[in-house]
Structure 1
């Protein structure tokens, strides 16, 4: 196969500076003039995707960074490459498979091929980004068969999802509070039941690590919110600001509820912020960005306090219940040692993956009205342990 056209185009465009439009145009012109190079161009793209996997990236990570740095056309191109490369890849874990399934199911228009030159330019821009992706901390991708008899906790997660969906949809703050509180209660119970089961059987895997997107704008406040949700649910979050995600470390059942609750709270926060902002603008205020930044910062701070309180109360109640049951059965309780050992395991995994971390100060929190309204919204979205309603 003659690869000279692709080689010359790549030499011109892929290693040039991002603002060197002339180099990009030169590469695109070479590719546009040689339709015979199309197959080799695609093959190189598949190699770049496989190279991203070797550097620790996952499908959702690559799509996220392309969406963050480039345009819709590039996102469509990389999605097509990922799906085309997947059958040639080695077996991966269930989360990887779920990411591929979501990409395959997502509705998307076919890339607009207005002309060969424009298309070639977009491909080169995408490949330049893929080529420059840094190496990430590797996540566990070991394929595992589903447990025999299915996953009994799936019904619990379905209930949690349903409660959070209702909380997001309702226009009544008190109802959203009650629904979110019940969801947090079920999350705490779900986590504790899983911990006890693993402790009783002396089984279960160690902590895992998931990457969860922290999208612009106001990503610092969103990262703080994710950290609060993770901490309240026995996980740890480490934010990678340049690449737009946090790596959350914890046991699988806890990671599932962290992702669910974080996503739901973002929706609720955005809804509350939009209403509060409209009221501020009606009063003649114009500082929209500073208001939003301060609103979300206050919301994240307040939610963190509420979630920590709810988690402590749930743990106390569950410990008391477990101790009572164990005393009746065989004279001793085992919840607190199990939770403590899992906490140690999570901490050790974080320190192994991220031996060097730093803390950062919240920036841009200067709007008093935004802070006040964000705190009020967090109070309305309060999540705390309540008496079980079963």
Structure 2
């Protein structure tokens, strides 16, 4: 039996441009009654995915937003469509390829036809209405190379995964500290190589999800980590991510260090909160929000101090290189975001939470990079 584009078109007309449940049910009923429409339905879904790429979205962005707005069945369906579209897509670089590899491989659970058609139409509604965002295509000039020391990066990620999994804050801090040490070594080696070979690479950008709850404090933490690693971050609160602009080794450092510090902050917050509850405290939400806000603020000060010390101890021969890279990052940021955007703290209403968060930041394992020889 051949596919029937007419059924899909009628279902779309009924369901995609109206928000009512009755319209959704009508469209899903049409699709469920016509098994021959399945191939066309999938093809049209892949077209919606390709349209998202033209509007600046990447695979991880789409999956993150679908997870935020819909359910797991929609996430798995989106992953299946992205994989299908990628087979016809042009090569997009190592970051894009890594995002494709991270897609959920289980595929959507197909129960009855009506439920599947409903999920597809709900997903397509969302994809159809995705706004345009800043594209992360490489600027003019050589594209950034893929990471050369994949074994070290794999080891760092493994340490961070263990830190996230442990229930003991002290163990998490130790694992995070080791990951930070390896990350700093990797980033320095890459910077040294670029300076010695006079590589004319250009800054790029990546998007990092800032997950609820307490997104503002987490975005400020990410902004602080970016600044300490010669990167710049711009937070999109409505879509739940920050765009980080910088050179590739420094982007890697930001992703890893942010993850590490967020692990430490969460573990420390849980421990401090337990102590507060033992003392009869009930206001958990305000405590957590203020804790993370203070943690981000204090860590920002510490990281800024580390960065200043690193530059001050750098030999004059390399200082112009660092300055030139900073200028390149700023120029790229201004091209992508012509309007100045800042990340601000808000909602700090709990003095105990702020004090505990600041103390936890002081205990966090933040190690400065060794001077560049």
Instruction: From 105, 115, 118, give the equivalent of 2:115.
Output: 118
Superposed displacement of residue 286, structure 1: 1.6
Matched, 1:279 2:275: yes
Contact 1:309–1:384 at 8 Å: present in 2 too? no
Superposed displacement of residue 195, structure 1: 3.2
Superposed displacement of residue 212, structure 1: 0.7
Instruction: From 4, 10, 24, give the equivalent of 1:8.
Output: 10
- Give 1:309-388 correspondences, 5 Å limit: 309-317=305-313, 319=314, 323=315, 333-359=316-342, 361-385=344-368
Matched, 1:255 2:238: no
Q: SS at 1:111's partner residue?
A: coil
Q: SS at 1:377's partner residue?
A: helix
Superposed displacement of residue 98, structure 1: 0.7
Q: SS at 2:87's partner residue?
A: helix
Instruction: From 209, 212, 220, give the equivalent of 1:216.
Output: 212
Contact 1:93–1:141 at 8 Å: present in 2 too? no
Structure 2 Cα separation of the partners of residues 145 and 294 of structure 1: 39
- Give 1:111-150 correspondences, 5 Å limit: 111-140=108-137
Q: Output one character per residue of 1:274-311: Cα deviation in whole Å (capped at 9) or x when no partner.
A: 11112212222221111111111111111111111122
Q: Output one character per residue of 1:138-161: Cα deviation in whole Å (capped at 9) or x when no partner.
A: 1126996967xx82x446545655
Inter-CA distance 164–311: structure 2 relative to 1 (3 Å threshold):
farther
Q: Normalising to structure 1: TM-score of the pair?
A: 0.86
Structure 2 Cα separation of the partners of residues 124 and 86 of structure 1: 21
Superposed displacement of residue 343, structure 1: 0.4
Q: SS at 2:199's partner residue?
A: coil
Q: Identify the residue that residue 27 of structure 1 maps to in structure 2.
A: 27
Contact 1:93–1:140 at 8 Å: present in 2 too? no
Q: Identify the residue that residue 330 of structure 1 maps to in structure 2.
A: none
For structure 2, list consecutive stretches of 5 or more residues without a partner in the other structure: none
Structure 1 Cα separation of the partners of residues 45 and 348 of structure 2: 42
Q: Identify the residue that residue 36 of structure 1 maps to in structure 2.
A: 36
Structure 2 Cα separation of the partners of residues 373 and 85 of structure 1: 48
Inter-CA distance 183–37: structure 2 relative to 1 (3 Å threshold):
closer
Superposed displacement of residue 118, structure 1: 1.5
Inter-CA distance 306–373: structure 2 relative to 1 (3 Å threshold):
same
Q: SS at 2:102's partner residue?
A: helix
Structure 1 Cα separation of the partners of residues 312 and 157 of structure 2: 25
Structure 2 Cα separation of the partners of residues 111 and 162 of structure 1: 28
Q: Identify the residue that residue 97 of structure 2 maps to in structure 1.
A: 97
281-290 or 238-247, larger mean C-alpha shift: 281-290
Structure 1 Cα separation of the partners of residues 240 and 62 of structure 2: 11
Contact 1:306–1:384 at 8 Å: present in 2 too? no
Structure 1 Cα separation of the partners of residues 238 and 307 of structure 2: 31
Structure 1 Cα separation of the partners of residues 50 and 159 of structure 2: 39
Inter-CA distance 334–155: structure 2 relative to 1 (3 Å threshold):
farther
Contact 1:229–1:304 at 8 Å: present in 2 too? yes
Q: SS at 1:88's partner residue?
A: coil
115-124 or 234-243, larger mean C-alpha shift: 115-124
Q: Output one character per residue of 1:21-69: Cα deviation in whole Å (capped at 9) or x when no partner.
A: 1111111111111111111111100111111111111100000000011
Q: Output one character per residue of 1:112-148: Cα deviation in whole Å (capped at 9) or x when no partner.
A: 333211111111000000011111111126996967x
Contact 1:311–1:384 at 8 Å: present in 2 too? no
Q: Normalising to structure 2: TM-score of the pair?
A: 0.90
